[in-house]
Amino acid sequence: MTNYAPPQWSPVSPAPTLPGPRRGTKLSRWSVFLGIQSVLLGALLPIPILAIVFGIVGLCRGTDLPGRAVVGIVLGWSGLTFWGAFIAVCIWLMHVNLA
């Protein structure tokens, strides 16, 4: 018998890795950007539609930041609703004034 202390094994730390780009963030980022633009410039119809489509595609493909895609969808939908209601009111007012 020996009176040596048991060996203290320490786990080897893994080699440091550089953080790469997060998965699926490009579509989410574009969705938020276009969602903000749709609130400001939603009269251009493709902008809110693209914000909604990019957000849905980003969520379906899987993303590390799903909140961005959801915010893009919400902003795109709100921009589309706001400008759609604005155009509907303008058409209704033109119809009332012509009658």
Kindly report whether the global pTM for this prediction surpasses the value 0.95. no
Nearest to 66 by CA among 26, 21, 28, 34: 28
Residue 93, pLDDT above cutoff 70: yes
Using the Cα atoms of residue 45, residue 43, residue 86 and residue 54 in order, give the sign of their dihedral: positive
Q: Which uninterrupted H or E stretch holds 60?
A: helix 46-61
Residue 10, pLDDT above cutoff 80: no
pLDDT score of 89: 93
- Longest CA–CA span in the chain (Å) reads 109
Residue 71, pLDDT above cutoff 90: yes
Residue 33, pLDDT above cutoff 90: yes
Residue 34, pLDDT above cutoff 80: yes
Instruction: For residue 35, give the 3-state DSSP assignment.
Output: helix
Distance, CA of 52 to CA of 72 (rounded, Å): 7
| DSSP code of residue 12 | P
Residue 61, pLDDT above cutoff 90: no
Every domain of the chain and the residues it spans: 25-98
Distance, CA of 73 to CA of 97 (rounded, Å): 36
